[in-house]
Amino acid sequence: MAPARTTAARTGAKPRPSAGAASRLDLLEALLLARDPEQCSQRALTWLQRQCGVRRALCLAADAARVRLVPVASLGLPSQRLDRFSVDLDVRDHPLTQALLSSSPVLLSMNGHASAVTPLGQGPVQAIPLAPLSPRHLPAGLILVSPPIQAAAGDARWLARVLGPRLAALMETRRAEESEQRLHRERGLLFGIINAVTDPILLTDADGRIIIANSRAETLLAADEDQSEGRRQAVTLNNMLFSAALSRHAIEGVGAPRHEMPLVDPVDGSDLLFELMSTPASPDSRQAGGIVSILRNVTDLQRATAEIEENYRKLRHTEADARAERDRLDLVIDSVADPILVTDPGGNIVMMNAPAERLFVARPEVDSEEAHRQVQANDAHFSSFVSNLFFEGDSRRRTGGINLVDPTTFASLPMEAISGKIVSEHGEVTAVVTILHDRTEEFERARLYEELKKASAELENKVRDATSELVRQNELLRRSHIALEQASALKSQFLANMSHEFRTPLNAILGYTSMLLKGVSGELSGQQRRNLERIDSNSHHLLSIINDILDISRIEAGKMPLTLVDFVIPDVIGEVLAEVEPLIARSKLAVTHELGDALPLVRSDRQKVKQIVINLLTNALKFTPQGWVKVTASYDKRLDRVAIAVTDSGIGISPKDQEIIFEDFRQADDSPTRQYTGAGLGLAICRRLTQMLGGELTVRSALGEGSTFTLTVPGAPRDE
């Protein structure tokens, strides 16, 4: 139909005084039937072309929402010119804005500027404002035409009045439609968002009935009839719990804290914990706009919270432990007498105990400059030691010596340093701990020890020398002992032989003398007899000396046998007195004897006891020029000892001689001019015999006051 109309418009292009009433009626009908602003305005422009001979035209509608003039229909214009063409109504000095606000058509500038303002190209442009919907509204739009309409100006004005309200109404309708669509879209989006939220969200009315619920909320709080019994029960329970929480929340008001609300997962039956946040849907809570509730699942949160609390508690505990440990460590480190230092990888001292401070920290108020220098020197020594450890890659420990100086006494301190790296689990050295140990005492001890060792070695040498000397002397002694024993044996043998050799001739002398004295060879004269008696006496004396020597030899050779028998002392004394009778008679001394009571049996060598007593008695007779000799026997029951004492009133023995007399071949008077004869063996033999008998031989005497010799022997053992 359009081409036909175009043909019709072209055929009617010839200017006519006025459009027919039928044409206007047709246009009105077309405008009313138009569905949208474009169709409506396009029909108007077509009508203008036909009625007024317009070649080019553009219809701009006022878009109230955007406050712009936008093209809605055009005639005889290339469409690309219209692209993006619009006019901002806020720009009040724009020619088109001004044209819009003017009540009658405006002829835009005749010069070439018009093309810059409108898309209609060269030539004069006429702007016809369209009437508003109502006097309150803005003009509905603007029609630009070229060439300007003059002859049919009435038609143009009529069109402006008719098209304006209709276009404004269509524009308004479109705006309403667009707005509705937008709302619908936004609502869908909102629901999408709400459903996308994993927390249950609900809108409830004043009575607590659910108006809107997102899918998560529906899962918890809504159940269909066809769902399982357990799930329906869970949902029922959840609803009760939710209602209770909600009403409590409502009572407590807007500022109430968040409530925790336990629910049951209807799907798997597990316990869930939610935090309920409820706010009135409209700001004015008195309006029955409902309440929006958001349930935040805090099951995991609670678990996490509990875990965090537990961790925090553990952390606190660990921290306390660590602090206690550190305090203890500090105490330990400070109580160590050796300096301890901790160094960081940069070589800086980060910690030290009190003894270390004495060496490495200067006290400005106390120390002298010299002390400061020593502290610095100490620090330098120490740093170089520790840095070496850092450079030694592998070894974790280093021991070495550093020579430090005591800053207060300036005494040299030979220190043994033991450094250990503290390595993190990533293998990085985090610190170095160094302990210094003063070795002064150790060195001193080592020196003393060396001295001691030397002294000990010397001593050892001396002892070794002495020992070897001792061994040598022992060997000599042993040899000389053997030699002595041999000599002694030889001597004993010699004496035994000699006594035999002596006896044989002596036997002959004694024999012949005895025979002569017995008158075997006839009677003797007095002088002959006296001389023979002298020979006899001297021979007997010689025999007694030989016998004594033999006795000594036998005792020393251990060849003197003991013959033990039981006997009584008085018998022995009787025999002794009888045997010595010739001597007694010759001495003219008063010889008496006195026997004590209860003299017991004696078990001893009877012959030897007798021999000893004879010896004592003959000695007494020999050394007593005048006076008396007494033999007594007594018994000491307490000691079980029998004593035989020979007492005389003779010359006596001086104290210094009282031991000499018991020695071999000795008399008290040893001088060559001595008065008394005798070999001096008698007492020596007596003492030896006494010892063999387990007895004792003692002397008590004073010079000029006589002597007492006492023999004691043990009594006989009690008979069983």
Partner 1 sequence: MTARESLLVLLVDDYPDNRDIYVQFLTYSGMQVEEAENGHQALDKAFALHPDVIVMDLSLPGLDGWEATRRLKDDPRTRDIPVIALTGHALAGHSKGALDAGCDAFITKPCLPERLLDEIRAILETARTRSGDTTT
Binding site for partner 1 (CB under 8 A): 496, 499-501, 503-508, 510-512, 514-515, 518, 520, 543, 547, 550, 554, 559-561
Closer of 82 and 557 to partner 1 (Cβ): 557
Closer of 168 and 546 to partner 1 (Cβ): 546
Closer of 279 and 514 to partner 1 (Cβ): 514
In the complex, what is the shortest distance from the CB of residue 515 to partner 1, in angstroms, rounded to a whole number?
Answer: 6
Closer of 292 and 543 to partner 1 (Cβ): 543
In the complex, what is the shortest distance from the CB of residue 486 to partner 1, in angstroms, rounded to a whole number?
Answer: 18
**How many whole angstroms separate alpha carbon 333 and alpha carbon 631?**
97
- For residue 621, list its beta bridge partners: none
Amino acid at 322: A
87-88/68-75 β-pairing: antiparallel
Question: CB under 8 Å to 322, separation ≥6 — which residues?
Answer: none
**How many whole angstroms separate alpha carbon 11 and alpha carbon 5?**
9
Closer of 249 and 606 to partner 1 (Cβ): 606
In the complex, what is the shortest distance from the CB of residue 544 to partner 1, in angstroms, rounded to a whole number?
Answer: 11
Closer of 308 and 578 to partner 1 (Cβ): 578
Report CA Rg, the chain.
Answer: 81
Q: Is the peptide bond before 147 cis (omega within 30 degrees of 0)?
A: yes
**How many whole angstroms separate alpha carbon 302 and alpha carbon 71?**
62
Q: Tokens representing 599?
A: 């003299």
Amino acid at 24: R
What is the torsion angle, in degrees rounded to the nearest 10, for the CA atoms of residue 218, residue 221, residue 226 and residue 228?
A: 120
Closer of 510 and 532 to partner 1 (Cβ): 510
Q: How far is CA 208 from the centre of its chain?
A: 66
Q: How many CA atoms lie within 13 A of 211 on its CB side?
A: 13
In the complex, what is the shortest distance from the CB of residue 533 to partner 1, in angstroms, rounded to a whole number?
Answer: 14
- Smallest CA-to-CA distance from 90 within 38, 148, 156, 138 is with 138
In the complex, what is the shortest distance from the CB of residue 456 to partner 1, in angstroms, rounded to a whole number?
Answer: 58
Closer of 383 and 544 to partner 1 (Cβ): 544
In the complex, what is the shortest distance from the CB of residue 634 to partner 1, in angstroms, rounded to a whole number?
Answer: 33
Closer of 512 and 567 to partner 1 (Cβ): 512
Q: How many CA atoms lie within 13 A of 254 on its CB side?
A: 8
In the complex, what is the shortest distance from the CB of residue 474 to partner 1, in angstroms, rounded to a whole number?
Answer: 34
In the complex, what is the shortest distance from the CB of residue 715 to partner 1, in angstroms, rounded to a whole number?
Answer: 27
* Runs of H (alpha helix) within 518-645: 526-556, 569-587, 606-622
Q: In what order do the strands lie in the sheet with 397-405?
A: 349-352, 340-343, 429-438, 412-423, 397-405
DSSP letter, residue 588: T
In the complex, what is the shortest distance from the CB of residue 713 to partner 1, in angstroms, rounded to a whole number?
Answer: 22
Closer of 499 and 701 to partner 1 (Cβ): 499
In the complex, what is the shortest distance from the CB of residue 556 to partner 1, in angstroms, rounded to a whole number?
Answer: 12
H/E stretch holding 483: helix 440-517
126-130/141-146 β-pairing: antiparallel
Closer of 347 and 511 to partner 1 (Cβ): 511
In the complex, what is the shortest distance from the CB of residue 679 to partner 1, in angstroms, rounded to a whole number?
Answer: 17
Amino acid at 484: L
What DSSP line would sit under 100-153, residue for residue? HHSSS-EEPPSSTTHHHHSTT-SS--EEEEEPPSSTTSPP-EEEEEESPP-TTH
